[in-house]
Structure 1
Amino acid sequence: MLIARNPMNGEIIAEYPALTPTQMHERIGDADRAFDSWQSSTFEDRAKVLKAVARELRADKDRLAELMAIEMGKPIKEGVPEVEKAAWCAEFYADNAEQFLSTETLASDASNSYVCYQPLGTVLGILPWNAPLWLAFRFLAPALMAGNTCAMKHDPNVPASAAGIAEAFQRAGAPSDIMVNLPLETGNVEQAIRDPRIRAVSFTGSDAAGRKVAALAGAELKPAVLELGGSDPFVVLADADLEKAADIAVLSRIINAGQSCIAAKRVIVEEPVYGTFVEMLQSRLAKLRLGDPLDKGTDIGPLARADLRQNLHRQVSETIDAGAQCLLGGELPEGPGFFYPATLLTEVSETMCAFNEETFGPVMCVTRAADMEEALQLANETDYGLGAGIWTANTELAEQMALRIDAGQVAINGIVKTDPRLPSGGIKRSGYGRELGPHGIREFVNAKQLWIA
C-alpha cells in the first residue's frame, strides 16, 4: 500500500494499492509488447502523440499543480510552471528527435559506412518526489521519441501525481502501454530492474540509492543513467553584480523549499565583498513567506516528509555547533506540518557538516574565500559534481574558472537550471550519463554501425 501524506499537516491524504509482483510483471509485459509497433512508427507519428500529451498537460495544469502542492508541498505558483516545462520538454523532443538521431555517415575503407540509432526496448524510469512532472518528462520524452517504451516507477510520496501523468497519455489517445505506470513499494524495485524485458534504467535520487541501482543494473549488464545529489557551489567574486547575484542565489536556493539537486547550496564569496553580500542575502531571505503551498502568496512550502526535516535540522545544528553563525532561521517551527524556515548560516568552513553533506531544504551556507584561487579550491572540495555558478564581471576569467570546476554544468552570471535544449548530469557522487539535449536522447539507443563492402 502506498500512503500519501499532506506535508502541511502530516495527515494521510489517501492510500493507494501498490502493484503485486505478479501485477508488476504483467505491466512490464504490456510495455514490452507495445515496443514492436512503437519502434516501427515514424518520428512524425511519435511527435503527434507527444504533442497531444503536452496539450493534455497544459489543459490540466491547475489540477496537477494542486496535486503536487498537496502531496509534496510545492508552492502552487511553482507547480503550474513545472507542468508547463514538462509540456515544453515533450514538444521539444517531438520537434527535434529525428534530427538528434539522424544517421551519421563515417569515412572508412567501405563503400558506405554509417551509424544509425535504434531504440533498446522498454526503459525503466525510477523517479523522485521533488519535481513529479518535470523529472518524469525529462525521462519520458526523449526515451519515447527514440522509439522505446517506458515503465515509470514514481516515488511513493506522489502516487496521485504519477496517476495524473498516466491519465494525460490516456486522454491524448497515445497507443496503449507505450508508457505504463508502476506504483511499486520500494522492495519490489529490484525485481523490476532485474526483469529481462527491462533493457535500461534511468534513476534520479540520492547517491545512496543510486549506488544500489547502479549495482543492480551493472549486475544485469543494463545501461543506466544516474542523476544523483548535489552540493552546488555558487562563487561570487568581488567585481560581480552583487544585487543580481544575491537575487539569483536566493531564488536558486529557495525554489521548491530548497529541495532541488541543482540549487545553490554552498555560497562562496570573495573576501572584499563578503560582509556586504551576506547582508544582501539576509535581507532577501527574511522577506520570504513560509506557508500553505496552495496559497499563491507562499514562497516556501513544507518539506515533503518529517524525516527530511529532521535530517536537515541535524545538519544545521551540527554546523552551528562547529562554529558557524546562524543569522536567520535554524529552529524547528512549532505546530503541525513539516515546515522549516529560511536559514542563513555564515562563516561556514570546509570541515563543517553543511559544507560536506547535501542540504535538501531552505538552508543557505556562506563561506569566505581570500581570492579567486581559494574560491575555486573550495568549490571543488566536495564529493559531488552536479552544477556550479560563477559570478564576476570578467566573463573571460569566468570561462577559465568554469573549465576548472568539477561539475556537469556551470552557469556564468545566471541561474543553474535544467533545460530541454541542453544536456544535464553530474560527475563523482552526482552520478553519470546525461539527460536532456541531444546527448540525453542518445543514452537509451543502440548506436549501430553498418559497413558495406
Structure 2
Amino acid sequence: MPFADRVDALRAVRRYVADNEDAVLRILTEISPHRTADAELRSFLATLDGAEEEIRRVRPGRVPRAAVFMPSNIPLYSYALYLLVASLYSGEIAFRPSSEIKSQTRRLHALLAPVHGLPIKIFELSQRKFVTGPVREADLIAFTGNYSNAETIREGLTEDQLFLFFGRGINPFVIAPDADLTRAAHDVTNIRLYNSGQDCFGPDVVFTPQGRTEEFIDLLSTELNSLRFGQNSDPAVDYGPIFYDSALVNCSDYLVRHARHIRHGGRIDLPSRRIEPTILLWDFDDKIPLDEMFAPVFNVVAYPGAMRLRERLASPYFSEHALGAMVYGNDPETVKVLAKRHRTCVNHTLLDAEDGNRPFGGFGMRANYLSYGGERHAEPLLMSQAVARNLPAAAPVSVGGK
C-alpha cells in the first residue's frame, strides 16, 4: 500500500462520523431527504471499512498528484470514494466542489479535514481555473458530470494523464411477462424516488409487457399514493423538495410538452418545490425523449414482444448510454442482451448492488470511461483499479516533509 501510514486517518474519520451522525446529517439533509442522507452515511462508513482490503487487492501504484471534480449530489459518499480512499495511493489531492452544493461540500470538508489531516485540499475555483491549475499538474483526474464537459476537459490533457469520467445512464427497468408486478412496482418506486428522484441510478424508462401494462400502472399508482411528502429533516417522509433549480425547470418543461401522456400525478408546487411523482405512458413506437431527469418521473413504455424489446435495448442509443439495467421476472435472453454492456441486476435494483470498493458502471462511452495514452475505454470504473492497470508506479514522493 503506497501510503499505509494513512490508514489510521481513515479509521479516525470513520469513528468521528459514526459518533457525530447528527452533525453530518444536518448538512446532508439540506440536499436530500433524511432517509437518503442516512443511506449515504451508511455507504460512506461501509466504503471506509472496505478501503484497506480494496487497496491490498487491487494494488495501485503511487500517484504523486490527483485532481477531482466532485459531483453535484452525494457529497459525503463522494468524499470517501474520490478523496479518502484515493489518499491511500495519491500523494496530494486537489478537489473542486460542484457549484450547486459548494456550501455543503465546504462544510463537510471543514468538519472532516481536522480529523484526518491528510493532504486533501479544496479549491473553490471556476472550472476553467481548476483545469489550468491543479488539473494541469495532476497525474490522475476524476470527473463526475455530463459527457460534453468531460470531453472538453479530456481534450486539454496530455497522453500520460489518466482521466476517469463518471457519468450517467438511462438505466432501463424491464418487466418480464411473468414478473411479480407488486414487487416490481415497489422496487421501481424505491429507486426512482431515491433522493426525491435526484439520483443518477434512477431508471429513465420502464418497459412493461403490453398485456400487463394497465395492471402495473394501477399498482405503481397505488405505491405512489402511499408516499409522504415533507421536509428533508423529517425521518418519516418518503420524498422532499427538489433541491436543484435546473431539475424543477427541466421537469416543468417536460411535463408541459408531454402532458397528454400523463396517467398519474403531474402537479408541481413551486413554493414548496414539490414535484408530485408522475407516470407517463408511451406506446413502443413513440419518439420518447430519454434525457436524464432529476425528478420523480416514470416513463412507462408498453412493449409488444421480447424480440422488439431486445432490438431496442441493443440499439446504438442505449449502447452508448449503457451504465446499469434492471430486469424483473424470468427473461434470460433479455438479461443476456443487456449484460453485454450494462451492469445488470435481476429482481433487485442498482442501489442494492452498489459497492464503493468494487468497479461499477457499464460499457457505454457516454456513461463512463477512462482515457490514457490517447485512447478511451468505456468500462466499469474503480479509481484504484484504473490506476493499477494504467499508470506506471511512481517513485516515492515527498508530502508535508515526509
TM-score band by shorter chain is: 0.7 to 0.9
Which one has the largest radius of gyration? Answer: 1
Residue 358 of structure 1 and its aligned partner are, at CA, apart by: 1.4
How far apart are the structure 2 equivalents of 1:203 and 1:362? 26
The Cα shift of 1:252 comes to 0.7
In the alignment, is residue 75 of structure 1 matched against residue 33 of structure 2? yes
1:289-304, aligned counterparts within 5 Å?
289-304=228-243
> In the superposition, relative to structure 1, how do residues 216 and 258 fare at CA in structure 2: closer, same or farther (>3 Å)?
farther
Provide the C-alpha distance between the structure 1 equivalents of 2:9 and 2:355, rounded to a whole number of angstroms.
Answer: 21
Out of 86, 94, 97, the position equivalent to 2:44 is 86
The 3 A distance-change label for structure 1 pair 230 and 40 is closer
Determine the C-alpha separation between the residues in 2 that align with 1:56 and 1:317: 47
For 1:431 and 1:397, the matched residues in 2 are separated by: 25
1:342 matched residue in structure 2: 277
Q: What is the aligned counterpart of 1:248 among 187, 197, 204?
A: 187
**Cα offset for 1:221?**
4.7
Q: Distance in 2 between matches of 1:393 and 1:182?
A: 49
CA RMSD of superposed structures (Å): 2.8
Contact 1:143 1:444 in 2 (8 A): no
| Aligned: 1:179 with 2:139 | no
Give the C-alpha shift of residue 146 in structure 1: 2.4
Q: Distance in 2 between matches of 1:293 and 1:448?
A: 45
Contact kept, 8 Å, 1:330 with 1:341, in 2: the verdict is yes
Q: Look up the equivalent residue of 1:345 and give its one-letter code.
A: L
> Equivalent residue of 1:232, what SS?
coil
Q: Which amino acid aligns with 1:182?
A: F
1:400 paired residue number: 336
TM-score by length of 1: 0.77
1:216 is aligned to 156
The Cα offsets for residues 366-423 of structure 1, whole Å up to 9 and x where unpaired, read as: 00111222222333443511111111235x446424334x32x111110013212431
Q: What are structure 2's unaligned runs of at least 5 residues?
A: 371-376, 394-402
When structure 1 is superposed on structure 2, of 181-190 and 278-287 the one drifting more is 181-190
1:100 is the counterpart of 2:58: yes
The offset of 1:311, in angstroms, is: 1.1
User: Mind listing any 5+ residue stretches in structure 1 that lack a counterpart?
Assistant: 1-38, 102-116
Q: Is this contact kept in 1: 2:369–2:379, CA < 8 A?
A: no
Matching residue's letter, 2:139: R
1:371 equivalenced with 2:305 (yes/no) = yes
How do 1:368-447 and structure 2 match up within 5 A? 368-381=302-315, 382=317, 383-393=320-330, 396-397=332-333, 399-404=335-340, 406-407=341-342, 409-417=343-351, 418-426=354-362, 427-433=364-370, 439-445=382-388, 447=391
Asked whether the 8 Å contact 1:128–1:155 carries over to 2, the reply is yes
1:183-262 matched pairs, under 5 angstroms: 183-192=124-133, 194-196=135-137, 198-217=138-157, 219=158, 221-262=160-201
Q: After superposition, give the CA deviation of every residue in 1:79-123 in whole Å (9 maximum; x if it has no partner).
A: 12211211211221123312221xxxxxxxxxxxxxxx4222221
SS in structure 2 at match of 1:124: strand
Cα deviations across residues 19-44 of structure 1 (Å, max 9, x unaligned)?
xxxxxxxxxxxxxxxxxxxx864x3x
The equivalences for 1:128-139 within 5 A come to: 128-139=71-82
Distance 2:246 2:381 in 1: 37
1:442-453 matches, within 5 Å, as 442-445=385-388, 447-448=391-392
The one-letter amino acid paired with 2:48 is A
Aligned-partner SS, 2:141: strand
Report the residue type matching 1:341 in the other structure.
Answer: E
Shift of 1:181: 1.6
| Pairing partner for 1:153 from 96, 99, 119 | 96
1:200 maps to a residue whose letter is: L
Compute the displacement of 1:269 (Å). Answer: 0.9
1:281-360 to structure 2, matched below 5 A, reads 281-320=220-259, 325-334=261-270, 336-347=271-282, 349=284, 351-354=286-289, 356-360=290-294
Which range is displaced more, 162-171 or 60-69? Answer: 162-171
Give, in whole Å, the separation in 2 of the partners of 1:296 and 1:436: 37
CA distance in 2 between counterparts of 1:350 and 1:232 reads 19
Q: Is the 1:57–1:168 contact (alpha carbons within 8 Å) kept by the matching residues of 2? A: no
The residue correspondences of 1:266-281 to structure 2 (distance < 5 A) are 266-281=205-220
Q: CA deviation at 1:130?
A: 1.7
Matched, 1:163 2:106: yes
Output the amino acid matched with 1:325: H
1:302–1:353 Cα change, 3 Å: farther
